[in-house]
Amino acid sequence: MADENKVNTGHHIEDKELIKNARKPVGKLGHQILDRMNRSHESMAQWGVTHFEVMGDSKILDIGCGGGRNIQRFAELISENGRVVGIDYSEVSVEKSTELNRKYIDKGIVNVLQGSVSDMPFYDETFDIVTGFETIYFWPDFINDLKEVNRVLKKDGLVFFCNEAVYREGEMDKYADLVELLDMKIYSEDVLRESLEKTGFKDFKAYLDDENDWICITARKI
Ligand SMILES: C[S@@+](CC[C@H](N)C(=O)[O-])C[C@H]1O[C@@H](n2cnc3c(N)ncnc32)[C@H](O)[C@@H]1O
């Protein structure tokens, strides 16, 4: 008989209460899952970031920054003329990202804020690059949220998303439990392309790592 405290994530059998925190980390389990995601998403993130270039003076926004490992990665690449901002609607994620990036925050090149992708406290055309690692599944209104991403990007600015749950026709049953538990959406490459094209982006590109089941996409603001 299936254990009702467990969930099949499509890759492993895990504790439901812990995995629920992937959507919005809270409390002790939130801290625990963020520590884990900083490690478990590392190979995918390293692969993902090979698909675009970060310059010394890049202004980068990481949405759904979680435990802050990607903020740290970008902070290590930029000069004192660049900036990395992380935003996340979870208080615990903001706390963790701040803790991990304290050195760069004190140096004045990193900032971490609490807020939702749907309504971000940034001026129009602020960033050269906007990234989202393992987060778009949870965005409440994808089209409007992409318009918000578009608004804060500079012209020709790059949007980048990276996910380890890949939509494949006829193979989605394995994610059924996880999708129900987290109320998440796994977008197909076609939906990602169409959504970006109708919200002011061009040059859509998708990259798949079939061995590891990773997808990342890039596009540019028109
Ligand atoms: C699965 S975690 C990924 C964290 C990190 N990017 C990583 O790759 O390890 C998803 C993160 O997205 C955040 N998130 C989900 N929906 C959000 C929203 N609407 N606005 C801002 N952050 C959101 C969650 O709080 C969580 O920290």
pLDDT of residue 55: 98
Sign of CA dihedral 113, 98, 68, 96: negative
What pLDDT sits at residue 11? 83
User: Would 1 be classed as within a structural domain?
Assistant: no
Spatial separation of the C-alpha atoms in residues 130 and 52, rounded to whole Å: 11
Q: Which domain holds residue 36?
A: 6-221
Domains identified in the chain, total number: 1
pTM here is 0.97
The helix (H) or strand (E) run that includes residue 7 is strand 6-8
What's residue 57's pLDDT?
A: 98
Residue range 16-45: average pLDDT? 97
Q: What is the CATH number of the domain that holds 22?
A: 3.40.50.150
Is the model's pLDDT at 1 over the cut of 90? no
Cβ atoms of 63 and 131 closer than 8 Å = yes
What tens digit of pLDDT does each residue of 180-199 get? 999 999 999 999 999 999 99
CA dist 181 and 21 (Å) reads: 10
Cα 5 to ligand 1 centre (Å):
23
To test the ligand 1 pocket, which listed residue (35, 62, 116, 138) has its Cβ within 8 A of the most ligand atoms?
Answer: 138
Q: For residue range 125-181, list pLDDT tens digits in order.
A: 999 999 999 999 999 999 999 999 999 999 999 999 999 988 999 989 999 999 999
Q: With a cut of 70, say whether residue 103 has pLDDT above it.
A: yes
